[in-house]
A and B are shown apart, each in its own frame.
Chain A
């Protein structure tokens, strides 16, 4: 340290042994600090899957609707839950998209079918993807879908109209304080991101 006057120019490399010791110490510390930086950069990206897992477990963002293979067998007839349906289309999506049932009262465990109507008013084929969202978010943990048009992309030719079905039930363990829930679908135009061969197959 005592002969460190040149360090402003010589940087890490000093001529004295004390300086070499310092250079080594500096290098070790720099390597450690840079590895923290690398880890934190990756952590930024790791937040993406972590967030998805966290939301799936806790149901907090209302996007993780439970996909159920089998319909429900137990029905709790002592109470009902009101399910409201609402739809919207994202900018760039020309379809008209409406729920055919605005609202429905169901018993927990009861299997229900509702339909949504979609019309492609343009003259060309458009592929759409519906993204669900449930409010309140925590209620999404108890909404089970056995069949849903949102599981797949939908393709409509110009002028074509379809009715799209949703089969669902509410789990019997839904907390008592959830009396109403809203299921909303936003329809996105994904034509551009789908390869032409795939469009033909849809």
Chain B
């Protein structure tokens, strides 16, 4: 090790030394390279999962079966969900964490760079396995991304083992990524960077990483039980052998509910960086943001059964889970209040990141409200398994998580590439997205309230008009994302030179570094004010 290090320090005289070509990316242990890999991979998955959504919306454009077989339709809804959750949103956040956390806390790199390389490179393997199962005889997973037993055990296609292994590998990847984030944040902060001085993106990721460490192993246990139930004759979820299918739902949602916060907490951190920057004010209520995030994370462990109100739980349990769920809107409300209070009397400008951040606040709040409606147990008996649920989780995941990722990309692109992105194209992308996404998801609320069930390839005639509108919104939203691709490619290739701090009101150590950020971050610890 010692000799290697000496040789290395010599090489680092040329600051940006790195291997060239493909091997640079395969062997890289650099947090920025790995962050870029994560982000590119996530966008690729976003396009693949999006293409599947287009198949779904094309089939639902009219009542009746037009384009695909029902079984293939089910595979599309399942794999769309799996890819968007595990392939698009989670890797995008991990990519942002890789890029930003070392820069934000004044560290030279992530704490465990080699593990970092692995946690990324096993992801493409996992998704190749998952996607290849679609081409096998009997088809890929068709039981919904929640893979409820017995759909995933007794009635699942032969390729289910591949689904299980793909989930295992994705889980290992997220766990390794989370460990890296925790170790980096706890051990690698520059002198003087106390916990309560950390940017909120770092805070929210620290909490997210602990959630990942706590619940991804439970997911691994769940899929292992599905595997042994299907192939090795165990009866965890089979009533015939003394098991219980409802148990599956308990274990799955014990993972599943913290998982949905894993997909939104880093968004809170992103928005808490962008809103103050373009309001030219300090974030209102920093410490209350930290405590609110922590309480959301803790509450996420005691609300899982609100996904299961219709399984016949006793009234006492339904009330408990209903009240706990509603309690979550208190810390979330604190956050929304703080963002709005930050903007209050600020000198606002509306560059693309700010537009996405404001859209996030408004539309995520709509998703939060429909979540509150779903939390009301008696009302949930009507909404359960309808398009109302689909509308709810797409508002929190697309206009919530994905809009925040878009906002983050625009906000930090100048730092990553050293060039300003095309503001005009960015604005076009924003307006095309924000209009189409509402045409896409808002009518789903009405479809759900009118009783259209989710995960169906065909539907009753009275739903035809709204479905057509939804599909048109869907196609428009899908196409709008190609504008984003153009913006990023243009920005990576050239454009107006970005200053170290392109946003007047931006705060944080990353803006003290030149743009593009040097290959190695803070080689000497920065001074913390």
When distances are taken between beta carbons in the complex, the residues of chain A under 8 Å from B136 are: none
Contact B30 A8 (CB under 8 A): yes
The segment out of A33-41, A101-109, A160-168 that lies at the interface is A33-41
Given the complex of chains A and B, what is the CA–CA distance between A185 and B247 in angstroms? 19
Report how many A-B pairs have Cβ atoms within 8 Å. Answer: 144
When distances are taken between beta carbons in the complex, the residues of chain A under 8 Å from B30 are: 8
Contact A15 B1 (CB under 8 A): yes
Checking B112, B219, B240, B242 against A30 with a beta-carbon cut-off of 8 angstroms, the contacting residue is B112
Contact A61 B239 (CB under 8 A): no
Tell me which residues from 1 to 15 in chain A have a Cβ below 8 Å from any Cβ of chain B: 1-15
Most chain B CB within 10 A, of A48, A135, A188, is at A48
Given the complex of chains A and B, what is the CA–CA distance between A63 and B246 in angstroms? 11
Contact A40 B240 (CB under 8 A): no
Chain A nearest CB: distance from B165 CB in Å? 16
Contact B220 A44 (CB under 8 A): yes
Contact B239 A135 (CB under 8 A): no
Chain A nearest CB: distance from B409 CB in Å? 24
When distances are taken between beta carbons in the complex, the residues of chain B under 8 Å from A51 are: 244, 247, 250
Tell me which residues from 495 to 512 in chain B have a Cβ below 8 Å from any Cβ of chain A: none
When distances are taken between beta carbons in the complex, the residues of chain A under 8 Å from B128 are: none
When distances are taken between beta carbons in the complex, the residues of chain B under 8 Å from A129 are: 240
Contact B183 A29 (CB under 8 A): yes
Given the complex of chains A and B, what is the CA–CA distance between A48 and B179 in angstroms? 27
When distances are taken between beta carbons in the complex, the residues of chain A under 8 Å from B111 are: 26
Contact A44 B113 (CB under 8 A): no
Checking B113, B216, B233, B525 against A2 with a beta-carbon cut-off of 8 angstroms, the contacting residue is B525
Given the complex of chains A and B, what is the CA–CA distance between A24 and B233 in angstroms? 45
Contact A4 B108 (CB under 8 A): yes
Given that A7-B109, A22-B187, A29-B187 are known contacts, is A47 also in contact with B182, CB under 8 Å in the complex? no
Tell me which residues from 21 to 62 in chain A have a Cβ below 8 Å from any Cβ of chain B: 22, 25-26, 29-30, 33-34, 36-38, 40-45, 47-48, 51, 55, 58, 60-62
When distances are taken between beta carbons in the complex, the residues of chain B under 8 Å from A124 are: none
User: Binary interface profile of B, 184-196, with partner A (CB < 8 Å = 1, else 0)?
Assistant: 0011101100000
Given that A26-B183, A29-B187, A33-B182 are known contacts, is A4 also in contact with B523, CB under 8 Å in the complex? yes
Chain B nearest CB: distance from A122 CB in Å? 18
- How many B residues, CB 8 Å from partner? 59
Given that A9-B113, A37-B213, A131-B240 are known contacts, is A138 also in contact with B8, CB under 8 Å in the complex? no
When distances are taken between beta carbons in the complex, the residues of chain B under 8 Å from A34 are: 179
When distances are taken between beta carbons in the complex, the residues of chain A under 8 Å from B6 are: 15
When distances are taken between beta carbons in the complex, the residues of chain A under 8 Å from B1 are: 10, 13-15
**Does A90 have its Cβ within 8 Å of any Cβ on chain B?**
yes
A: contact size bracket: 35 or more
**Does A193 have its Cβ within 8 Å of any Cβ on chain B?**
yes
Chain B nearest CB: distance from A133 CB in Å? 8
Contact A12 B112 (CB under 8 A): yes
Contact A33 B108 (CB under 8 A): no
**Does B456 have its Cβ within 8 Å of any Cβ on chain A?**
no
**Does A186 have its Cβ within 8 Å of any Cβ on chain B?**
yes
Chain B nearest CB: distance from A117 CB in Å? 21
Chain A nearest CB: distance from B355 CB in Å? 35
Given that A1-B525, A2-B524, A29-B187 are known contacts, is A40 also in contact with B214, CB under 8 Å in the complex? yes
User: Binary interface profile of A, 128-159, with partner B (CB < 8 Å = 1, else 0)?
Assistant: 01010001111000000000000000000000
Contact A48 B239 (CB under 8 A): no
When distances are taken between beta carbons in the complex, the residues of chain B under 8 Å from A90 are: 239-240
When distances are taken between beta carbons in the complex, the residues of chain B under 8 Å from A41 are: 217-218, 220-221
When distances are taken between beta carbons in the complex, the residues of chain B under 8 Å from A1 are: 190-191, 525
Tell me which residues from 1 to 19 in chain B have a Cβ below 8 Å from any Cβ of chain A: 1-2, 4-6, 8-9, 12
Given that A14-B5, A44-B221, A193-B241 are known contacts, is A58 also in contact with B524, CB under 8 Å in the complex? no
Residues of B within 8 A of A (CB): 1-2, 4-6, 8-9, 12, 29-31, 108-109, 111-114, 154, 175, 179, 182-183, 186-188, 190-191, 213-222, 225, 233, 236, 239-242, 244, 246-247, 250-251, 254-255, 312-314, 317, 520, 523-525
| Pairs A–B under 8 Å by Cβ, sample size 29 | A1-B191, A1-B525, A3-B9, A4-B523, A5-B523, A6-B4, A6-B9, A8-B31, A8-B109, A8-B520, A14-B5, A22-B187, A22-B188, A25-B187, A30-B183, A38-B217, A40-B214, A40-B216, A40-B217, A40-B218, A41-B217, A44-B219, A44-B220, A47-B247, A47-B251, A51-B250, A136-B312, A186-B239, A193-B241
